Amino acid sequence: MSGSIFGKRFTVTTWGESHGPCIGAVIDGCPAGVRLDPEMIQRDLDRRRPGRSPYASPRREADQAQILSGVFQGYTTGTPIAILIPNQDPKSGDYSHLAAVFRPGHADYTYEEKFGVRDYRGGGRASGRETAARVAAGAVAKQLLAEFQIDITAYTYAIGPITIDPARFDPEAAAANPLAMPDADAAARAAGFLDQLAAEKDSVGGVVECLVTGLPAGIGEPVFEKLDAMLAKAVFSIGAVKAVEIGSGVQSAQMRGSEHNDWLRYEADGSLAKLSNHAGGILGGISDGSPITLRAYFKPTPSIGQKQLTVTTAKTNVEVAVTGRHDPVIVPRAVVVVEAMTALTLADYLLIGATSRISSLKRLFQQ
């Protein structure tokens, strides 16, 4: 199966299925000497794992990461880092009635058409469970980026029609409520809305906003592999994402050049400052040193208890109501997945950027 490897210098291969014995990731290209804290990997996995709130799947998974290689005495060795995450609570029997049914909104039909066979137990590789491996790999990338004081923070920007108010932005609120919303009032209203949807056996989508600070200017590539293009590709690879914005995003189409252009000034200390950030921290596909801002738009969870029209592998028309354990909204658990894919992209481009100038190579090898 192609398409399971991400990156050029800092590469990640994820493997495993939702209801197999385990899932995991292999990271290659991570420089030696990075202080790697397993607790930071576990902390991010805990943010993503199910069963932790009434608005997440009740599947009980400890998601205890096991680092099998590439780390010695707390530091990376420069060799491949293998991370394994056991599947402990699959309950594959919940999906037996769907073996011959294509669930609306899922990848069942397209996998069948491409491969001629599919793992109907939770969707196999198409399951959101695959993202646990991404989160583990992303936590390694974050620790590499932290060596350069590069920080990535994401949070729930909207659930359905309920959007946070920037005037009430509180990072501690995002950590305190199960919806990861940095606005306690919006979180309370969103919780009530989700309770209503649960009673109706329905689901909803939402938006994750991600902010990158500390990234120096000059990271990225021009033309076909622009930094914003690769960030969009990375975030779009998350199964439920249907749109990605960088900076002012779709609003740019309604703005004038005089409004959208970010004016530049030199500060008294000689540093360059932007008076606005409509570009979202990227110009010409290359970082400009200001914060990178992106938003990922997630579709509603397709597994709902309402009856829906669909078809079978025998080409008959049927109705289906998807039972089992599913999230009424995927957004809160996807926050850390967006962080992970952003971190993997930046770690890769940071290493690529190290060879952009001959002067950098000379400083390294002609000491």
- Quickly list DSSP for 161-201: TEE--GGG--HHHHHHSTT--S-HHHHHHHHHHHHHHHHTT
Give, in order, the Cα–Cα distances in Å from 176 to each of 150, 179, 186. Answer: 24, 9, 13
Beginning with the edge strand found earlier in the chain, give each strand of the sheet holding 292-298 in spatial order.
162-163, 151-159, 206-213, 292-298, 241-246
pLDDT of residue 327: 78
Give helix 227-236 / helix 331-353 axis angle, nearest 10°. Answer: 140
264 bridge partner residues: 274
**307-365 pLDDT per residue, tens:** 999 999 999 999 998 876 577 899 999 999 999 999 999 999 999 999 999 998 898 88
Beginning with the edge strand found earlier in the chain, give each strand of the sheet holding 22-28 in spatial order.
5-6, 11-16, 22-28, 81-86, 66-67
Token pair belonging to 153: 């923070």
148 bridge partner residues: none
Provide the domain limits for residue 37.
5-365
pLDDT of residue 324: 66
pLDDT of residue 367: 66
**96-132 pLDDT per residue, tens:** 778 899 999 999 999 999 998 888 877 778 888 899 9
pLDDT of residue 18: 82
According to DSSP, residue 320 is labeled: E
Q: Which residue has the tokens 């590789």?
A: 125
Closest CA to 204 of 138, 247, 156: 156
> What is the distance between the alpha carbons of residues 189 and 359, in angstroms, rounded to a whole number?
55
**Whole-model pTM?**
0.94
Domain of 162, CATH number, reads 3.60.150.10
317 bridge partner residues: 311
pLDDT of residue 193: 95
Q: What angle do CA 221, 142, 340 make, to 5 degrees?
A: 75
Q: What angle do CA 4, 354, 277 make, to 5 degrees?
A: 85
Q: Could you tell me the sign of the dihedral formed by the alpha carbons of 106, 110, 113, 115, in that order?
A: negative
Q: Cβ(124)–Cβ(23) under 8 Å?
A: no
**Region label for 232, one of left (φ > 0), alpha (ψ between -120 and 50) or beta (otherwise):** alpha
3 state DSSP class of 235: helix
pLDDT of residue 94: 61
**Region label for 108, one of left (φ > 0), alpha (ψ between -120 and 50) or beta (otherwise):** alpha
What does residue 295 show for φ and ψ, rounded to 5 degrees?
Answer: -130, 140
Per-residue pLDDT of the chain (367 residues; tens, 9 = 90+): 578 999 999 999 999 988 888 999 999 999 999 999 999 999 999 999 876 777 777 667 788 999 999 999 999 999 999 999 998 866 655 667 788 999 999 999 999 999 988 888 777 788 888 999 999 999 999 999 999 999 999 999 999 999 999 999 999 999 889 999 999 999 999 999 999 998 999 999 999 999 999 999 999 999 999 999 999 999 999 999 999 999 999 999 999 999 999 999 999 999 889 999 999 999 999 999 999 999 999 999 998 889 999 999 999 999 998 876 577 899 999 999 999 999 999 999 999 999 999 998 898 888 6
pLDDT of residue 1: 57
Give, in order, the Cα–Cα distances in Å from 45 to each of 122, 152, 264. Answer: 19, 16, 40
Number of domains into which the chain is organized: 1
Length of the chain: 367
According to DSSP, residue 291 is labeled: P
> What is the distance between the alpha carbons of residues 352 and 337, in angstroms, rounded to a whole number?
23
